[in-house]
Amino acid sequence: MSEAPATVNSESVVTVLVAALMNLGIALAKLIAGILGGSAAMVSEAAHSAADTVTEVMLYIALRNSAKPADERHPFGYGSTAYLWAALAAALTFVAGGLFSITHGFHSLHDGAEGDYLLSYIVLAISFVLESVSFGRTIVQLRGESQRWSVRPRAFLRHTPDTSLKAVFLEDLAALIGLLLAATGLALTEITGSPVYDGTASILIGALLLVVAVLLGHANVSLLIGKSLPPRFRGAVRAELEAGAHITAVQDLLTLQLGPTSVIVAAKIDFSDSASGEQIERTCRELESRLRERYPMVMYVFLSPWGEADPARAAE
């Protein structure tokens, strides 16, 4: 077994903090514009940004707590706390953002169209620029990390255990779409004089937040329960083990994502009958060293010599 303290992904921390600070300022501006202009969509957008701000604060807490080193009570570290906090953040987005926006939109469908929307348009335009900056930074990080693993950004986003990156990506994307919905609702309400379009925009913004919350909740709950590594990663680890000296087959390979930066690898290995105890020990040490060198997130390696290999099971 090998032990090493988890480390915080500094890029993810900066990405989360940048998004949180931008969303806080945007939420206040949207709220003022919504109240002064009497727009339900703007108030919903303010709730959207406020929920995103609190969510990103929770993601920051998750990143910091998950990096605490292992101790006697928690021998595998605190990596899974990242998924707990992220799941709570998704629930907050669902309730505070999605349900509020939908409820507020329904209540506003028959309100009179009132106020001057000029301030709202200005706030929406500035918000779109700021959200684009945050989204651009997230895209840069996403592309960089996907290139590091030689996979497409979409595949990396689907399988990455760094749920903070996934959360910021989805929230920024939803924010940009929400701004376009709010601007469209305001414009149609101003042109027609009907509040239905503004209220409908608020409902659509809420529905968008519900979709994001469900996606993030599902991803984090799956990791919190215990999820193996993607098939491509497992295949690479199996190939690394099978290349070891005196190894005839890898019978069972189990992997578990403990946290954003920590993984367990456990395997039952069939060694050749001629291998001595010393050779088996040396091979296990070499394999552990190679795995950790190639994949820094592999924190714990358990290799168990086993009996004769079952060819059918080994092939599977």
Ranges under pLDDT 50 in the chain: 1-7, 309, 313-314
| CA–CA gap between residue 51 and residue 44 (Å, rounded) | 10
For residue 188, give Cα distances in angstroms to 116, 194, 237. Answer: 14, 8, 56
**pLDDT number for residue 112:** 55
- State pTM to two decimals: 0.77
Q: pLDDT tens digits, residue range 87-109?
A: 888 887 777 778 888 888 888 87
DSSP 237-304: HHHHHHTSTTEEEEEEEEEEEEETTEEEEEEEEEE-TT--HHHHHHHHHHHHHHHHHH-TTEEEEEEE
Lookup: tokens for 217: 């909740």
Q: What is the pLDDT of residue 250?
A: 92
Residue 6: the pLDDT is: 43
**pLDDT score for 240:** 92
**DSSP annotation of 308:** S
Angle at 167 between CA 201 and CA 77, to 5 degrees: 155
> Residue 305: in which H helix or E strand, if any?
strand 298-306
Alpha-carbon Rg of the chain, whole angstroms? 25
Rounded distance, CA 33 to CA 42, Å?
7
